Amino acid sequence: MDRSLDRKKVILGLSGGVDSTTAALLLLEKGYQVTGLYFDVEQPENKEGAAAARRAAEQLGIPFLYRNIHEVFEKTVIHNFCQEYQCGRTPNPCVVCNPAVKFRTLIEAADREGAFYIATGHYARTTRHARLGWSIRKGESEKKDQSYMLYRLSSSIIERLLLPLGILHSKEEARAAAREKNLFNADQKDSQEICFLPEGETYADYLLKRGVNPKPGNFIDKDGHILGQHQGLVRYTIGQRKGLGITFGKPVFVIRMDPENNTITLGDNEDLFSREVICGNSFFPNSASGQLPDFLENAEVTAKIRYAAKPASARLHTLPDGRISAVFDEKQRAATPGQSIVFYYGDCVAGGGFIE
């Protein structure tokens, strides 16, 4: 790492929303020299988003940078998003974007500008853990905690990352800080879950627009008997009950999706529960090989099988093929292929992988 980088300088991802603006405000109050960076994932440019970010920078009195990253975002995030749905999986685009696009762009900008630190408005913290090294730590607010989304960040990025909102106990604290400084976005509504979806558009609509054509196939039961016809794998996800277009006089759920045979298996709610969850393409920030560190082998951790899930106790094992098995104390409902399972050692992110 370049030792000439200035530890008082910070490049902050500035979206123009209240979270990133308040993060900048808190850093300024601590004496950092903050530059706001707006990365535009759209082509042509998102004039409204860029204008909001520029206005926030002007109100804060900080320099402003604009980067259009449409091309790399398209290749890395959008392509993966479409491909995963075509394969009957349910992706989380933020998990892919953060290490490969968002934080890489911030680090590159920081290196160019001579800044040691980068920052974002995520509700999480960083720490140097005795066994894990530089790690993402849960935010103070259990409700807003976004550590799950950051599990694939490397230790070299975490070392340079400032997350000022991690100490806040609620979103309202961020809004209150913004109101105190009369910032224009203090009461702005929360942004939508998937940033690249036009407002009011469903993910299925978006996929159709991107040329992903759903191929109808069969609903089947656990014994392989045909129950009816589905409208394409991209329209369904594990655990789904509503919108199936088929009735049985009792609740039925999507319990399996088979892209090879283009079938969707329907079953009872109890069929969705399992104690073991297996993940591939695992990532552990301080493991050179990317594999489970020795001290976590057969160790008890807590794990989340989706962003909104409650952490649950589990033990980790490396399978002969290199995948990770998490065996939970209590059965988990609807572990969904394509989503991430994230492992916590105490309140620190130890790593995770994509559910298979």
Residues marked active site are found at 97, 195
108: tokens are 């590159």
Say whether 351 counts as a known binding-site residue.
no
278: tokens are 């297996």
Say whether 132 counts as a known binding-site residue.
no
| C-alpha to C-alpha distances, 338 to 31, 101, 329, nearest whole angstrom | 41, 19, 23
- Of 12, 40, 38, 37, the C-alpha closest to 26 is 12
Say if CB 90 and CB 338 are below 8 A apart: yes
Rounded to an integer, what distance in angstroms lies between the CA atom of residue 204 and that of residue 85? 9
Say if CB 328 and CB 273 are below 8 A apart: no
Say whether 289 counts as a known binding-site residue.
no
- Of 64, 35, 34, 70, the C-alpha closest to 52 is 64
Q: Is the peptide bond before 44 cis (omega within 30 degrees of 0)?
A: yes
343: tokens are 């492992």
Say whether 243 counts as a known binding-site residue.
no
Q: Are strands 6-13 and 115-119 parallel, antiparallel or unpaired?
A: parallel
CA atoms lying within 13 Å on the CB side of residue 170: 4
Per the document, the length of the chain is 356
Say whether 39 counts as a known binding-site residue.
yes
283: tokens are 């990532």
Say whether 13 counts as a known binding-site residue.
yes
Per the annotation, where are the binding residues for ATP?
13-20, 39, 121
Per the annotation, where are the binding residues?
13-20, 39, 121
